Amino acid sequence: MFSYRHAFHAGNHGDVLKHAVLIACLRHLTHKETGLTVIDTHAGAGLYRLDGDYARTSGEAVDGVLRLAQAAGLAPLLQDYLEVVRSFNPQGGLRIYPGSPFISQRLLRPQDRLRLFEIHPSDLPTLVRNVAQLQAERQISVLSEDGFEGIKKLLPPQPRRALLLCDPSYELKSDYARVHGLLQEGLKRFATGCYAIWYPVIARPEAHELPRRLKALATRAGKPWLHASLTVKSARVRRREDGSEQRPGLPGSGMFLVNPPYTLQAQLQVALPALARLLAQDGHAGHLLEAG
């Protein structure tokens, strides 16, 4: 159950999409003076070394944030994303990659709150140590609980403004059903919250069905939604000369939002085509953006 470690994938194309969208949402939601609660259901370790053993083993950041950092003339949404990531590397270069907890904390104001769920036996103590360095105990809570269940006690928040980010590993097939259940429960308890769900685009029926099921749920609830996906390569499994299978890794990912900022769709209309072009790994790269 706990074999997944995000340290292997930090800064990959999925993180680029997820964190660029997260930053855009936080920029919009913090315009209003009223306090905001950010809930991260699967927080991870919080900070990652791109020059560490895990990241070097996978090399995924090379085709993600590191490739993007070499590009010029980026769309504003992507430029903002890179500036936030670079703010964690004051000595230059990109050695530290911030996960969603640290990105959120960097953009929040004194009146805002951050609630982080994590249960991975390795990532939890690392997250606790990383958060302790911020000396922001009144603003940040680290909860050693299953985020799928733990959100129930936090919704609705006071004041009634919140962004909930859900990005499980999908290591278990049951995660897809639990994500649907989380959104269903969230909309029942707090219908006006902004919900942002990341999911992998992989050759698994549950992955293809998830955005369709989330659309149906949001539509039944009468809530606006936005769906963005980025594909960087083919999902086809190839055969090596010895007959073994060569799996492609993560071909793409998507973000599904309910009650998204009204400014986000226009930002993504510019940024997504650029991402598909800049991060393409073969001729199958592409993007999708739809709203309802």
d(CA 5, CA 287): 26
Q: Is 175 annotated as a binding residue?
A: no
Q: Is 9 annotated as a binding residue?
A: no
Q: Is 80 annotated as a binding residue?
A: no
291: which strand partners? 226
The model's pTM: 0.94
Q: Is 92 annotated as a binding residue?
A: no
Count of Cβ atoms closer than 10 Å to residue 188 Cβ = 10
Considering the chain, what is the average pLDDT of its residues? Answer: 91
69: left (phi over 0), alpha (psi -120 to 50) or beta: alpha
pLDDT of residue 236: 72
pLDDT of residue 51: 84
d(CA 62, CA 58): 9
Q: Is 42 annotated as a binding residue?
A: yes
Where in the sequence numbering do the catalytic residues fall?
A: 167
Sequence-distant (6+) residues with CB within 8 A of 91 are none
pLDDT of residue 3: 45
Nearest to 214 by CA among 165, 269, 256, 248: 256
Nearest to 161 by CA among 205, 109, 126: 109
Fold of 6-291: Rossmann fold (3.40.50)
Q: Is 19 annotated as a binding residue?
A: yes
164: which strand partners? 39, 195
Q: Is 180 annotated as a binding residue?
A: no
Nearest to 32 by CA among 108, 137, 140, 143: 108
Residues of the chain with confidence (pLDDT) below 70: 1-5, 7, 52-58, 237-248
